[in-house]
Amino acid sequence: MGAPPDRDVERIVLAQVMLPTDANGQGNVHGGTLMKLADTAGAIAAMRHAGRRVVTAMMDSMTFQYPVSVGDLVVLDARVSWVGRTSLEVEVSIDAEEIVSGVRHRTSTAFFVYVALDDAGTPGPVPPLEPRTTDERARFAAAEERRRFRLAQRQR
């Protein structure tokens, strides 16, 4: 069975309840737990767009603006913001929701760059991203700016 033609392949939402194994002894969820979930969500969005497997090439710095606790529902929203020849940028936001009250806080936003791999394991081409709305075009332009900065850093 093929994929439905109208599925929004560039965006996914992943949600997971935080358990004691995700946290320290005080019940605060580890930053590394959130980073891993963000990378997972970002990679899924990238793979769905690319139609290929991907590897994480880099991630921008991630700050944690709100503490996440055991029992919270972590909601990760990952969307492809930019696509090059073989690489893709994905923006991932992380919210923490108190399940009973429904109160939500944004804890982080981060950008990941993935590289699609062909069957030989080398970077392979991905379909272009066509930003449709004003918001998508603005995100694409901002991503191009970040890419210029990353490539300059990589050269250094």
Positions that interact with ligand COA (CB under 6 A): 55-58, 84-87, 113, 115, 123, 150, 154
Half-sphere exposure of 17 (CA within 13 A, CB side): 6
State the nearest-atom distance from the C-beta of 116 to ligand COA, in Å.
Answer: 9
State the nearest-atom distance from the C-beta of 91 to ligand COA, in Å.
Answer: 14
Identify whether the C-beta of residue 66 lies closer than 8 Å to the C-beta of residue 106: yes
What is the 8-class DSSP label of residue 128? P
Nearer of residues 44 and 58 to ligand COA, judged by Cβ: 58
Other CB atoms within 10 Å distance of the CB of residue 127:
13
The CA dihedral of 52, 56, 62, 68, to the nearest 10 degrees, is 70
Measured in residues, the chain has a length of 156
State the nearest-atom distance from the C-beta of 57 to ligand COA, in Å.
Answer: 4
State the nearest-atom distance from the C-beta of 31 to ligand COA, in Å.
Answer: 18
Nearer of residues 95 and 112 to ligand COA, judged by Cβ: 112
Q: What burial class does residue 20 get, using C-beta atoms within 10 Å of its C-beta: 0-12 exposed, 13-18 middle, 19+ buried?
A: exposed
Nearer of residues 36 and 137 to ligand COA, judged by Cβ: 36
Nearer of residues 132 and 154 to ligand COA, judged by Cβ: 154
